Amino acid sequence: MKATIALAVDQLSFAYGAKKALDRLSFQIYAGECTILLGPNGAGKTTLFSLITRLYDSHDGHIALCGFDLQQQTCKALAKLGIVFQQTTLDMDMSVMDNLYYHAALHGIGRKQAGQRIEQELQRLNMWERRQEKVRQLNGGHKRRVEIARALLHQPSLLLLDEPTVGLDVPSRQAIVDYVHQLARETGLAVLWASHLIDEIYPGDHLLVLHKGQIKANGTVNEVLALTGTASIREAFQQLTQGEAA
Amino acid sequence: MSVTHYWRALWGIVGRELWRFVTQRERFVSALVRPLVWLFVFAAGFRAALGLAISPPYETYILYEVYITPGLCGMIQLFNGMQSSLSMVYDREMGSMRILLVSPLPRWFLLLSKLLAGVGVSVLQVYVFLAIAWADDIHAPWQGYLWAMPALLLSGLMLGALGLLLSSFIKQLENFAGVMNFVIFPMFFLSTALYPLWKLKESSILLHQIAQYNPFSQAVELIRFALYGQLNLHALIYTLTAFAVFMAAAIFGYNPSKGMMSRKGGA
């Protein structure tokens, strides 16, 4: 039996004026699956994320989160979504705890329950000891961990990560990549991870290759390799994006 | 989404804003310095130059300091509304606005909550300012300080909604200087904050008319009358209408499918 569909995108298009950014995208993401959205800079990854989070709106095509249409049932759909943006979106002058309490309040979680969930998430990410520190005092990797904890606080079904490891050192990157994969495996969370870094892909991941607003490949790592007749994801990616290196 | 959810989110947003304001002492002080300079320096200098006839809500001759106090309350709220607008543009550039906008609540509610948070801060500033003015013998009837509260809430909402509307148009932080020059200063100087309408009429009919239709004038008059325990119905309706118009336009501006956000390429 196929797992539940966490995200369904159907014939989605978007343009900035005359410039088409996304061209009739259709794909689905399932619970427990880690999908890597791979594409060079300017491929349309961030635009796609902005549409899924409804920061932008498109009249062409549909997006549904856990069966809730994003345009018709916006609040129900957004309640299923956890997101880590490319840019840090934490309040630098507030403590880790206060940032997380603020997020919990936006999701209607009571103070007591929020406290329990915050402890649980921060413990899992080894950040509990630093809960009283101001975000400004944390390094890039720790800020990212707090943002992941925040994105998981309301127990979403789909986690969106928009190039969350950009600018991090190798151990911090690896820790985040491992943790998110573990989450998908153990909790059934669906993950859509935008990246242009090949080494963030695990063999069991699902791949979605986006180039110039179009999906060039959609399948497991092996399926994409078979499709392109290449031996590595790097080669496959280069072939699909016509020579643009990752 | 339950009522509890709305309530918690509202408190979360308002609490965050108040906390930021209280902890950022420089912001608190600088917000008060501007109106106090006007009150203690500008008003003292102009006292002799500007003769004021008895006009409602005043029942006797008043000092110029007394006249401009409600106007300076409005000034605090005007600057605060624009400050909120600036912080929205900043938040949008820095990304923290996104976290608010992707919350599972209607966008109008999120914007209104953000607005209320800003108004809460501005009302707090106004009362601190009024307390300092009181210490300098600028007194209103004690009931006036209570009646001023709803007037300040409404004027704060109207000016905050204007700020919100502007923030939906402003693309980048750098454009904010334009707001200062084209919105704040004309609104403030072409109003009844510093001089009564009839005085302005003596100088220029056109300026008088502009000041009359300036929503900031109406907000100032609403505060002025409330501070003396009176209701200025015309100012109330005018301010309320201006709030409704600005708020509706701001919600439109922040609507991802209809407003500026769809053209701007960023939230």
Q: Looking at this predicted complex, what is its ipTM? A: 0.83
| Residues A210 and A132 placed together within one structural domain of the fold | no
Gap between the Cα atoms of B98 and A138, Å rounded = 21
| Residues A171 and A150 placed together within one structural domain of the fold | no
Gap between the Cα atoms of A83 and A77, Å rounded = 13
CA of A181 to nearest chain B CA: how many angstroms apart?
Answer: 24
Query: How confident is residue B93, by pLDDT bands cut at 50, 70 and 90?
Result: low
pLDDT for the residue numbered B48: 66
| Residues A67 and A166 placed together within one structural domain of the fold | yes
Residue that has been written with the tokens 């403590």 in this structure: A95
Gap between the Cα atoms of B204 and B120, Å rounded = 37
**Of A207, A205, A202, residue with least CA distance to A236:** A207
| Residues A70 and A172 placed together within one structural domain of the fold | yes
| Residues A51 and A147 placed together within one structural domain of the fold | no
The helices-and-strands tally (H runs, E runs) of chain A is 8, 10
pLDDT tens per residue, range A193-241: 998 788 888 888 999 999 999 999 999 999 999 988 888 888 888 888 8
Q: Which domain holds residue A96?
A: 91-155
| Residues A100 and A151 placed together within one structural domain of the fold | yes
CA of B124 to nearest chain A CA: how many angstroms apart?
Answer: 21
Report yes or no: A99 at the B interface, CB cutoff 8 Å: no
pLDDT of B22 > 90? The answer is no
C-alpha angle with apex A43: B102 to B174, nearest 5 degrees? 60
Mean per-residue pLDDT over chain B, rounded:
83
| Residues A75 and A9 placed together within one structural domain of the fold | yes
Cβ contact, residue pair B267, A79, below 8 Å: no
Cβ contact, residue pair A108, B5, below 8 Å: yes
Which residues are within 8 A (CB) of B27 and not within 5 positions of it... i.e. 6 or more apart?
B21
| Residues A60 and A5 placed together within one structural domain of the fold | yes
Cβ contact, residue pair A108, B102, below 8 Å: no
CA of A58 to nearest chain B CA: how many angstroms apart?
Answer: 7
Cβ contact, residue pair B12, A83, below 8 Å: no
Report yes or no: A83 at the B interface, CB cutoff 8 Å: yes
Q: Which domain holds residue B151?
A: 3-264
Residue A86 lies in a domain: no
Query: How confident is residue A190, by pLDDT bands cut at 50, 70 and 90?
Result: very high
| Residues A72 and A113 placed together within one structural domain of the fold | no
| Residues A108 and A176 placed together within one structural domain of the fold | no
Choosing from A127, A155, A183, the residue where a domain stops is A155
From the list B1, B257, B261, which residue is nearest A75 (CB)? B1
pLDDT for the residue numbered B174: 65
Q: Which residues of B touch A57 (CB under 8 A)?
A: 255-257, 262
How many domains does the structure of chain A reveal? 2
Residue A85 lies in a domain: no
Gap between the Cα atoms of B174 and B172, Å rounded = 5
Mean per-residue pLDDT, A123-145: 91
Q: Which residues of A touch B23 (CB under 8 A)?
A: 93
Q: Which residues of A touch B12 (CB under 8 A)?
A: 101-102, 104-106
Percent of chain B with pLDDT over 90: 31
Cβ contact, residue pair B98, A85, below 8 Å: yes
Gap between the Cα atoms of A87 and A163, Å rounded = 9
From the list A56, A81, A83, which residue is nearest B262 (CB)? A56
Residue that has been written with the tokens 């932080």 in this structure: B173
How many domains does the structure of chain B reveal? 1
Percent of chain A with pLDDT over 90: 58
| Residues A100 and A10 placed together within one structural domain of the fold | no
pLDDT tens per residue, range B144-202: 899 999 999 999 999 999 988 888 777 666 666 777 778 888 899 888 888 887 777 77
pTM above 0.95, yes or no: no
Q: How many CB pairs under 8 A join A and B?
A: 94
| Residues A144 and A197 placed together within one structural domain of the fold | no
Residue A4 lies in a domain: yes
